[in-house]
Amino acid sequence: MAIVKGNVLGNLSGRLGNLSARTIEGRTILAARPSSFNASQDPAVIEIRKKFSVTGNFIKVLLTLSALYEIWKKVKTAGMTVYNYTFKNNFAYSSAAKPTDQNIITPGGFALPVQTATVEADNVSVELLALNTASVFTPEEVNLSANGVICYFNPINPEDPAYQITSLNAELPAYNFTQPFTVVIALNVLQQAVAAKYQNSILFFIVASKNAEGKIVQYSATYTKNS
């Protein structure tokens, strides 16, 4: 492996002959690719590959939510991409079949005071207690960002994928942190079509406070509901 400093080659990524290139924080890293590769058929290795695939699918959806991307970006280890750091913090919790209710969509945070949460055919509803019972909020925290990921599993038709993952977001301006509130996020037509194919789901849900400029101030830990 070689690390190229400066911008002699620019920001490279992808394959260059028998080399692969990626750029992390301004450094271009070149690594030799093997001339041939035979994937192991050992059951333990196959299990690991499946967990890699499940975790990768989960992280790709998770990071499409801008608030979650910014949260992970703030805490990631230097020299790692946001994706790799988020992956590293989720891999151990995934199963080879699907994400589990141990997976996380934020790295810690305050305990989210959820009274009830329901995943319906056309919406997701989360009843929150007053957030100031879980954390201290300053006057600069004026808005709330609600974000979720749903993993649908146990398909009605065995020919459908074993699981599918979708994302949710609602931006709540002038939020009252001292009062209970029910967040209701409607599913779009495509999400409803996916939901109709599965018998079970796992909801991963968090909230994050924002200042008037839209920057995240603090965020909750992941709340999960398996149904």
Query: What is the tally of helices (H) and strands (E) in the chain?
Result: 4, 12
* Percent of the chain surpassing pLDDT 90: 79
If we measure between CA atoms, which residue out of 101, 100, 102, 130 comes closest to residue 114? 130
Q: Tokens 């209701």 correspond to what residue? A: 184
SS3 of residue 123 by DSSP? strand
Residue 18 confidence (pLDDT): 58
Cα-Cα-Cα-Cα dihedral sign, residues 203, 209, 211, 212 = positive
169 secondary structure, DSSP code: E
At 45, the pLDDT band (50, 70, 90 cuts) reads confident
User: Token pair of 196, please?
Assistant: 């109709």
At 212, the pLDDT band (50, 70, 90 cuts) reads very high
179 secondary structure, DSSP code: S
Residue type, 25: E
CA distance 92 to 175: 35
For residue range 140-184, what is the model confidence (pLDDT) as tens digits? Answer: 999 999 999 999 999 999 999 999 999 999 999 999 999 999 999
- Pick the residue with more confidence: 135 or 2? 135
Residue 10 confidence (pLDDT): 55
If we measure between CA atoms, which residue out of 127, 199, 194 comes closest to residue 167? 194
Please, are residues 226 and 149 in contact by the beta-carbon 8 Å criterion? no
Which residues are CB-contacts of 37 (< 8 A; sequence separation ≥ 6)? none
Residue 59 confidence (pLDDT): 98
Does residue 12 register a pLDDT over 60?
Answer: no
Q: In sequence order, what E strands does 64-161 have?
A: 114-119, 123-128, 143-155
Per-residue H/E/C for 130-157: CHHHCCCCCCCCCEEEEEEEEEEEEECC
Q: Where are the domains of the chain?
A: 2-32, 43-226
Residue 46 confidence (pLDDT): 84
